[in-house]
A = this chain, B = another copy of it.
Amino acid sequence: MSKEIIHTYKNIRQQTEAICKPLQIEDYSIQVVQFASPAKWHLAHTTWFFETFILKNYVQNYITFDADFNFLFNSYYNNVGDRILQTNRGNMSRPSTDKIYEYRAYVDAKIQELLSAISDTKIIELVTLGLNHEQQHQELLVTDIKYMLGHNPLFPVYDEDFNLIKDTNSNTESIKIKAGIYKIGHQGDDFCYDNELGVHKVYVDDFEINNHLVTNGEYLEFMASGAYSDFNLWLDEGWSWVNKNHIKSPLYWHNIEGEWHYYSLSGLQKVDKNAILSHINYYEANAYAEWKGMRLPTEFEWEIAAQQLHWGKRWEWTNSAYLPYPNFEKANGAVGEYNGKFMSNKMVLRGASVATSQNHSRPTYRNFFNPTESWQFTGIRLVK
């Protein structure tokens, strides 16, 4: 058991560093926008998580790597004390990147030591939570790096081979689900987040859900129809967002001499009409569905249909607000701040994306973002 968890621990921790391989030192510290953190911060914060919730509590006479790091690398845990403002994460050239890698090595050694010595369910649970937490940050690392490089006028390449997935799923049939009562929520003993728990019944009516996600080509038709100027397609707040920000296309798209391009992690390239649409926010997803005379699935419909769907290529906007399941229970203390406190003004996304870590998602997984956000790899699946 401890061998297995140590093995997993090593793999996942190394995977985070592998993501940073193509970076130059200068890339580690930049924060372009409040919601996207510097790579250095992700590397440190995920490490701080293990130090704070495990080493400080379970290792006798544990010597903190650096007393200042709690202030610098706490993300949003009020129970763990004051922290640097999120907007200021990019102001910190120090500690240096090297120092952060030292920090990682220090904590990694201590965790492995602890896991070798002790086989305590509570510790293993916390390590598992920390690893899932780290996997979430791996995805954020990729998307935050993309945001930083994609907003650099030089459009630097991150990795020549980081390809956009094409929609090889030419199967355009849809799946029909019968009305009835279904069980929703995570069952079994595998790891899941607290927001997936509380298995409960929901009634859903007959519905028919597409097996394929919307492609760039389809979205270009929507754009060509004048959709970004047609208020009737948009939610009121979506229409304000379009106008205030002069939106005319998805994030990362640039019209260069009449032709649509987008920034990808392999550089600036022409929009591939057959590839799956990405980087749209909830308002855009909703407007597209409106234009098609269809709608987005609820998160329950999605979960019920999940077994039959080809999913995993893009986070898919649902038309469900992120709210607690019946009987949702928040853990005590800092760990309880993980999910529950974000349950307002957010919409649920289901599925997984090209940036999601392997084995990290599942049919009951509830991802959530503000309706304005589109820097994740987010797409559209429609329902009739």
Which among A124-132, A220-228, A318-326 touches the partner chain? A318-326
A202 is contacted by which of B153, B203, B341 (Cβ under 8 Å)?
B203
Residues of B within 8 A of A319 (CB): 323-324
Residues of B within 8 A of A71 (CB): 153
A231 close to B (CB within 8 Å)? yes
A26–B78 CB distance below 8 A: no
State which residues 1-50 of A face B: CB under 8 Å.
Answer: 24-30, 32, 40
Residues of B within 8 A of A238 (CB): 344
Which among A94-102, A161-169, A254-262, A263-271 touches the partner chain? A94-102
B282–A96 CB distance below 8 A: no
- C-alpha gap A205/B183 in the complex (Å): 12
A153–B232 CB distance below 8 A: no
B320–A345 CB distance below 8 A: no
- C-alpha gap A71/B236 in the complex (Å): 19
Name the distance in Å between A32's Cβ and chain B's nearest Cβ. 5
B203–A148 CB distance below 8 A: no
| Interface residues in A, total, Cβ within 8 A | 62
Q: Mark A64-82, 1 if CB is under 8 A from B, else 0.
A: 0000100110001011000
Report the nearest B residue to A295, measured CB to CB: B324
A342–B84 CB distance below 8 A: no
A123 close to B (CB within 8 Å)? no
A200 close to B (CB within 8 Å)? yes
Residues of B within 8 A of A96 (CB): 24-26
A326–B72 CB distance below 8 A: no
A26 is contacted by which of B94, B201, B205, B232 (Cβ under 8 Å)?
B94
Report the nearest B residue to A205, measured CB to CB: B326
A344–B93 CB distance below 8 A: no
Name the distance in Å between A142's Cβ and chain B's nearest Cβ. 16
Name the distance in Å between A198's Cβ and chain B's nearest Cβ. 10
Q: Mark A309-346, 1 if CB is under 8 A from B, else 0.
A: 00000000001110110100000000010000111110
Residues of B within 8 A of A151 (CB): 91
A250 close to B (CB within 8 Å)? no
Residues of B within 8 A of A181 (CB): 181, 203
A217 close to B (CB within 8 Å)? no
A156 close to B (CB within 8 Å)? yes
B326–A323 CB distance below 8 A: no
Residues of B within 8 A of A345 (CB): 237, 345, 371
Name the distance in Å between A24's Cβ and chain B's nearest Cβ. 5
Name the distance in Å between A85's Cβ and chain B's nearest Cβ. 11
Residues of B within 8 A of A30 (CB): 29-30, 90-93
B93–A148 CB distance below 8 A: yes
A84–B153 CB distance below 8 A: yes
Residues of B within 8 A of A76 (CB): 236
A63 close to B (CB within 8 Å)? no
A154 close to B (CB within 8 Å)? yes
Q: Mark A137-153, 1 if CB is under 8 A from B, else 0.
A: 00000000000110111
A-B contact pairs, 10 of them (CB 8 A): A26-B26, A27-B93, A90-B90, A91-B148, A93-B152, A94-B149, A201-B205, A202-B202, A232-B336, A236-B344
Q: For the A-B complex with A25-B25, A78-B239, A181-B203 known, give 12 more contacts whose Cβ atoms are closer than 8 Å.
A: A26-B28, A26-B96, A29-B30, A68-B153, A84-B153, A91-B151, A93-B152, A200-B205, A203-B203, A236-B342, A319-B323, A345-B345
Q: Name A's B-contacting residues (CB within 8 A).
A: 24-30, 32, 40, 68, 71-72, 76, 78-79, 84, 90-97, 148-149, 151-154, 156, 181, 200-203, 205, 231-232, 234-239, 282-283, 286, 295, 319-321, 323-324, 326, 336, 341-345, 371
Closest CB pairs A-B (n = 3): A321-B321, A203-B203, A26-B93
